A and B are shown apart, each in its own frame.
Chain A
Amino acid sequence: DVKVTQSSRYLVKRTGEKVFLECVQDMDHENMFWYRQDPGLGLRLIYFSYDVKMKEKGDIPEGYSVSREKKERFSLILESASTNQTSMYLCASSPRDSLTDTQYFGPGTRLTVL
């Protein structure tokens, strides 16, 4: 079974802090994704990566950056956290065949920015 893990289930940070969200997958997938999920807005793509050191902006990249130094790990960075970044953050991965292939999601990190 594909396993995608995220470093924290719940996180509370203060405005202005730098926040790191980590995601690790164990299925040797090339593609990894970061989404945020908010009530009424569904899943919105922040960034994705199709290979090590490669990254592409999604629909809402502002205020975020990412890092993919190893194939299995994809990090989401909030450079200076703000209250409007309070959300559920979901990481996902998918195999090489296509960026639009089946995605396997991690359990999510619920981030609260105070």
Chain B
Amino acid sequence: GQQVMQIPQYQHVQEGEDFTTYCNSSTTLSNIQWYKQRPGGHPVFLIQLVKSGEVKKQKRLTFQFGEAKKNSSLHITATQTTDVGTYFCAGPDQAGTALIFGKGTTLSVSS
């Protein structure tokens, strides 16, 4: 069936280092969404990308949607301890009835 995969599963960085998580879908997506879940919290919507090759920025976060609309990435520049959490990507299933979530990348940051 349709799958959305994320790598890496875990990433530990020193504060100030950059971080990137990658999301790959087995099928073309109409859009890709990114969510962040802080430890002990719930997923919170960050952004949605719709267009092929789209790049969006939110302060130190850069989101990219691939040209083929099958992959996406989230890059954090100069990580801070507040970036700690699990980042999920999600895309619509082919029937358009549900979001398929990746299993997430858990980021830890040491100061």
* Residue positions of A touching B, CB distance < 8 A: 40-43, 45, 48, 56, 58, 90, 98-100, 102-108
Contact = CB atoms under 8 A, between A and B. Distances in A.
Interface of B: 30-31, 33, 41-45, 48, 88, 91-93, 96-99, 101-104
Q: Interface residues of B: mostly helix, strand, loop or mixed?
A: loop
Q: Interface residues of A: mostly helix, strand, loop or mixed?
A: loop
Contacts, number: 47
B95 to A, nearest CB: 9
Contacts of B41: 107
Contact of A100 (B42, B45, B96): B96
B42 A106 contact: yes
A102 B48 contact: yes
A90 B42 contact: yes
Interface centre among A41, A98, A100, A106 (most CB of B within 10 A): A100
